[in-house]
Amino acid sequence: MLNKEIVAKINKQINFELYSAYVYLDISNYYADQNLNGFANWFKIQTQEERDHAMLFMDYLLQNGEKIVLSDIKAPSFAFTDFRQPAMEAYEHEIKVTASIHDIYGAAYEIKDFRTMQFLDWFVKEQSEEEKNTDEIIKRYDLFGNDAKGLYLLDSELAARVYTPPTLVI
């Protein structure tokens, strides 16, 4: 059995991952409304990743005989005013997700819950990638986004992203 504090933190993380999916779906919808379908595609795939992250946390609890407790998911309430802002919101959101995972990892470390730490290792690495990817979108937008042709090419590049489910073995 897992420590009850760890279980509570993981249940909270499940809800946070599902909220993250909502955030990215909202961003995807914004870009789709603006006819930036490549950006919309990139964030729609991000929605799928976040949903799968929640499922991985749920699987971990179930495989350890723990109860999953779902809670309400708040709808995002963004009012974007330009094309850069959603990417910035995504980057800032990923920093919060990273902090939340580090919080669980720190609690597991304190009680020497090596099983949970090993499980979280994949998420720690994944969050580094998530932050890097959203930061790169912002930097590339800053370079090319004010030029219509540059924005078109960046949008086309983001349209090429395809979904690849995570390969974490629990």
4-72+80-159, what's its fold? Ferritin (1.20.1260)
| Six token digits for residue 156 | 């086309």
Longest Cα separation, the chain:
56
What would the pLDDT profile of 30-42 be if each residue is shown by its tens digit?
999 999 999 999 9
- The answer to whether residue 170 scores a pLDDT higher than 80 is no
Binding-site residues: 17, 50, 53, 94, 127
Helix residue spans in the chain (DSSP H): 4-33, 37-63, 84-110, 114-144, 148-159
What would the pLDDT profile of 103-124 be if each residue is shown by its tens digit?
999 999 999 999 999 999 999 9
- The answer to whether residue 168 scores a pLDDT higher than 80 is no
Q: What's the predicted TM-score (pTM) here?
A: 0.93
Binding-site residues for Fe cation: 17, 50, 53, 94, 127
| Six token digits for residue 120 | 């979280």
